[in-house]
Amino acid sequence: MDVRVRNNVTITGADDAPTVMLAHGFGCDQHLWRLVARQLEPHFQVVMFDHVGSGSSDPAAWDAQRYASLDGYAQDVLELVRVLDLHDVVFVGHSVAAMIGVLAVASDASRFSKLVLLTPSPRYLDDEGYRGGFTGPDIDELLESLESNYLGWSRQMAPVIMGTPERPELGDELTDSFCRTDPSRARVFARTTFLSDNRADLGRVRVPTLVIECAHDSLAPREVGAYVHEHIAGSQLVTLDATGHCPQLSAPDATADAIAVFAR
């Protein structure tokens, strides 16, 4: 299968410029990067794609067993950079795609120069000495609600995740993105996302890394950003004056600026 078709790859910007690869999170697709991509394109080659099971990826590529682990998505990323013959890639992963990037770079860093983790979380579930933001019952309730009524869950949760009640159009856009995702595939990706624990993988990262968090984020509280920063040697931490889990929509200028400064 042609990976360009499998992952609906889009390449824009300057051909001879450094490459920035933008990877979306759960329930999203590459369209949610458009405001950031627009600002990066004059200075970078911008590569965007849809994870299998999301957006306009090839439905025939879906494999519930492969994508029950973030490793399946990470292997897709490694295959993309090899087939597209990309080098010195600055990988930008939003939300769960941040950990997909961690796994890809930890497995084979040869084609990556830098890593940007936008509102990352290595584990959403609280643990002893670690605050992920959710208790066990929280996660159970979230997954049960998602599995029993995905569209209803999407309409309820998207505005909460976006965190911008004064700008309801942003919550509506995230809701629409969630609702475009096939529910059966979304359920698999949700369990993969919210039950993952990649804390031990942070120490395997050996490329310069930028952690971008928001000042107020219901899905990834400030303690999570501090934890990721502390456990990736030499990483930088930037806190955006923004609310919510999707600053590429709610604060695209600040998000693009942080990525560009670090990528250069």
> Which residues are designated catalytic?
95, 217, 245
Using an 8 Å Cβ cutoff, are 61 and 27 in contact? no
SS3 47: strand
C-alpha closest to that of 61 among 47, 70, 73, 44 = 73
SS3 130: strand
What gap in Å lies between CA 155 and CA 176, rounded to an integer?
Answer: 8
What gap in Å lies between CA 222 and CA 119, rounded to an integer?
Answer: 9
Burial of 127 by CB count in 10 Å (0-12 exposed, 13-18 middle, 19+ buried)?
exposed
What gap in Å lies between CA 259 and CA 253, rounded to an integer?
Answer: 10
Residue type, 151: L
Exposure letters 42-70 (e unless 16+ CB within 10 A, then b): ebbbbbbbbbbbbbebbeebbeeebbeeb
